[in-house]
Structure 1
Amino acid sequence: MARPRPATFDKVKIVAENRRARYEYFIDTVYEAGLALTGTEVKSLRFGEGSIAEAYAEVKENGVWLVNANIPEFSHGNRYNHEPKRPRKLLLHEREINKLHGAVAREGMTLVPLSIYFNGRGRAKVELALAKGKKTHDKRETIKERDWKREQGRILRDRG
């Protein structure tokens, strides 16, 4: 029997976050994926360096890959240092890969990384979302909603 997944992932140390993703996309399903990294990449992430602002994931025939994520070279790395923007393999179960492939191919969904973090066991993980892009009017609606929530908080604070 499969082990039940936790509702939220155990994020001990968040390294990089894609904050615009929730504004640009409707988030459907969120997956936790492992990252296949080299030693200097892990050290660079542990120092809190890294960016996934313009990163995305794609499903190829041999797995899921994180493309355009920037993990800068490790400062004390020598000739074994890594390339900062190389594609990195994401570690998922075969069933999850098939689901992602079907959603991207048939439904026109996008794979967006939301954050890179270290879990409780010290493993580097990526929070990967299956998302659909928002149109301009949807983004305006999100802004209106956010402003109204902020105004609502002010009103309640002033009256209470």
Structure 2
Amino acid sequence: MIREIITYPNKLLRTKSKDVEVFNEELHTLLDDMYETMISAKGVGLAAIQVAVPLNILIINIPNEEDIQDKNELIEAINPKITHKDGVQVYQEGCLSVPGYYEDITRANHIIVEYFNRFGEKQVMETEGFLAVAWQHEMEHLEGHVFIENLSFTKRQKFEKEWKRKLKEKK
């Protein structure tokens, strides 16, 4: 089922998500819904809070060389924690909760993440580049943050002004 993606400045996006304690059918349904929602919105990652569920759950599905998002490559991460990060990279990011806005964001280039899969089995992933960016972006959502908070003061002010104007035009 495709769920509604909440957008900035919805206050729910500022909610710190809670750890998942039960790995059951309800969790599997949420993960399946999140995948359908992310694919229909043409995203590469989605945190549960973006569909108004404040749990430490995220999914990532990076397109392959043919620009296809292979479901076999889907990462479903429950209660993820970054245990190591180093290096620096700048990547132009966008967000399904801030549609139509893109900006260069500085992140760690190399990370190691520990998490659980949908069956409660512990996983460890070491990655770099775009996948590391996606992990860090989605994990910020779990902490109640949106990528625009990484902007400089001036860029953030400009964004807020443009965003408010855009929201008024929609009404």
TM-score range (shorter-chain normalised) is: under 0.3
Q: Comparing both chains, which one has the higher relative contact order based on Cα–Cα distances under 8 Å and sequence gaps of 6 or more?
A: 1
TM-score normalised by the chain length of structure 2:
0.26
Structure of greater Rg: 1
